[in-house]
Amino acid sequence: MACAAGGCTVVTVAFTPPARTMRVMRSAATLLVLFAACSSLATDRDLTVFQASAVEIDSVRYPFQLLRPNANVGEPQPLVIFLHGAGERGEDNSKQLTWLPLNLAGDAMRARFSCYLLAVQCPDGEKWADVPWSEIDPSPLPARPTRAMSAVIAAMDRVLATENVDPDRVYLTGLSMGGYGAFDLAMRMPERFAALVPVCGGGDPASMGKLASLPLWIWHGDADSAVPVVRSRQMHAAAKKLDLDVQYSELPGVGHDSWRQAYGRDGALEWMFAQRRESR
């Protein structure tokens, strides 16, 4: 499940809650349903195509899974860096495979989009980017990456050093908490990526100039009650003001699950895999 909330607290009250409280309660219920669906996907499907490993940062272990291309592929292959949402945090090294990783692990998708895929799992209580998710006003890009993000960088460096990866086809994407993380990591090292696909996230519009050479496609549902759609609108507006290579898909009536469209049929994948770093 991908959500910008770390959990919910049930409180019994003897009065009718105000409208804002009712909205929060409905949002929490929706997120719980999404969590159950995501957990089922990650546990019911075959995970044997992934290889488990881990990195350590400051003596903290960060597990990750790596999807490799089919064995008969000889040429260097693309690498997808996937940042999961808050609901997939933990230490089981499987929940973070929900949505895009499991999608790309299917036989038909592996034939269509042959690639490596790296999915690090963020522990409970940590974030990819140390910014508030549900605020309307953006936060400045933090001076340093979080420890969890440092783990992603370390794992990415290991894969690039040990696997047959095409360095000109490294793609970065994430949803919800991972959408914030995707903006954060891309702004720290834009030269390392060929494309950026942040889904229902946000970032620092004032730092958008750091992405001047990076094609990006932003996705968000206009009915998202967990991460305000204005966060993606702000990033799109900043990119357009700088005349960057940006696309923006705002999905009418879609809530906090716009990743279904972004990673689904007619979504961003065909475009993403067509990008090459040296072609810019």
What ranges in 11-106 are assigned the alpha helix state H?
A: 19-44, 100-105
pTM attached to this predicted model: 0.85
Give the pLDDT of residue 279: 52
Region of poorest pLDDT, from 31-40, 105-114, 127-136, 173-182: 31-40
Region of poorest pLDDT, from 5-19, 27-41, 75-89, 139-153: 5-19
Indicate whether 116 belongs to any domain. Answer: yes
Region of poorest pLDDT, from 7-21, 135-149, 170-184: 7-21
Indicate whether 1 belongs to any domain. Answer: no
Indicate whether 174 belongs to any domain. Answer: yes
Q: Beta-carbon neighbour count of residue 213 at 10 Å?
A: 12
Q: Give pLDDT tens digits for 127-150.
A: 999 999 889 999 999 999 999 999
CATH number at residue 124: 3.40.50.1820
Indicate whether 2 belongs to any domain. Answer: no
Give the pLDDT of residue 47: 75
Region of poorest pLDDT, from 32-46, 156-170, 180-194, 212-226: 32-46
Q: Give pLDDT tens digits for 70-105.
A: 877 789 999 999 999 999 999 999 999 999 999 999
Indicate whether 141 belongs to any domain. Answer: yes
pLDDT at 7 over 90: no
Give me the chain's average pLDDT, please: 87
What ranges in 45-168 are assigned the alpha helix state H?
A: 100-105, 107-112, 147-162
pLDDT at 21 over 70: no
DSSP 181-234: HHHHHHHH-GGG-SEEEEES----GGGGGGGTT--EEEEEETT-SSS-THHHHH
Sort strands 77-83 and 116-120 into parallel, antiparallel or unpaired: parallel
Domain count, the chain: 1
Indicate whether 12 belongs to any domain. Answer: no
Give the pLDDT of residue 36: 39
Indicate whether 144 belongs to any domain. Answer: yes
Indicate whether 3 belongs to any domain. Answer: no
Domain housing 86: 19-279
> Distance (Å, rounded) from C-alpha 222 to C-alpha 233?
10
Query: In this structure, are residues 50 and 67 in contact, taking their beta carbons and an 8 Å threshold?
Result: yes
pLDDT at 266 over 90: yes
CA angle 192, 178, 224 (to 5 degrees): 135
Q: Give pLDDT tens digits for 203-237.
A: 999 999 999 999 999 999 999 999 999 999 999 99
Give the pLDDT of residue 262: 98
> Distance (Å, rounded) from C-alpha 45 to C-alpha 138?
37
